[in-house]
């Protein structure tokens, strides 16, 4: 079991009241849980600055499946990285949005530098209409 240590934090009243309002809206049950998440998030973001840090990422993209070359390139790229030592495609999700557009979520696991490199390659492919990458250091 994780050992807990209690700390005391001094905040001015206005700042604390704004913090309480925010975490209330977000659904937190306690200040401690909200502060723990803030600390974890900050530490994770700090680690993203290290290209060698281990991370996972979700690459979201919307594209027209009639761009057949893109579909082929996406599949090829994912198969290539299935067994790579430095980065892996661990999962993907495909949703047919309407008659033309598809949403694909590709989950990558590996070093930060490799993830950024592969994500940029995916998002810069011709035919990608919208794209976004969400990286979290693990």
| Residue 115 near residue 58 (C-beta atoms within 8 A) | no
> Residue 104 — φ and ψ, nearest 5°?
-125, 135
- Residue number with CB closer to Ni ion (41 or 72): 72
Q: Which stretch binds Ni ion (CB under 5 A): 79-87, 99-107, 113-121, 129-137?
A: 99-107
Q: Provide the 8-state DSSP code for 65.
A: T
Per DSSP, what are the bridge partners of residue 55? Answer: 110, 137
Work out the angle at residue 40's Cα, subtended by the Cα atoms of residues 90 and 21, and round it to the nearest 5 degrees: 120
Check binding of 74 to Ni ion (CB under 5 A).
no
Among 21, 36, 40, 96, binds Ni ion (CB under 5 A): 96
Among 34, 67, 102, 106, binds Ni ion (CB under 5 A): 102
Tell me how far, at minimum, the Cβ of 126 lies from Ni ion, in Å: 17
Q: Which stretch binds Ni ion (CB under 5 A): 8-16, 21-29, 89-97, 120-128?
A: 89-97
Name the strands in the sheet holding 128-137, side by side, starting at the edge strand that comes first in the sequence: 87-96, 101-111, 54-64, 128-137
Residues that bind Ni ion (CB under 5 A): 65, 96, 102
């Amino acid at each position: 079991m994780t050992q807990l240590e209690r700390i005391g934090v001094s905040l001015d009243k206005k700042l604390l009241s704004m913090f309480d309002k925010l975490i209330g809206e977000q659904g937190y049950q306690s200040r401690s849980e909200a502060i723990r998440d803030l600390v974890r998030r900050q530490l994770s973001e700090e680690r993203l600055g290290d290209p060698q840090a281990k991370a996972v990422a979700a690459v979201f993209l919307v594209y027209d499946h009639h761009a057949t070359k893109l579909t082929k390139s996406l599949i090829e790229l994912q198969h290539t990285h299935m067994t790579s030592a430095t980065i892996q495609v661990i999962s993907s999700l495909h949703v047919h949005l309407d008659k033309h557009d598809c949403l694909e979520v590709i989950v990558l696991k590996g070093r930060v530098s490799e993830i950024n490199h592969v994500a940029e390659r995916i998002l810069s492919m011709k035919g990608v209409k919208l794209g976004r990458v969400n990286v979290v250091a693990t």
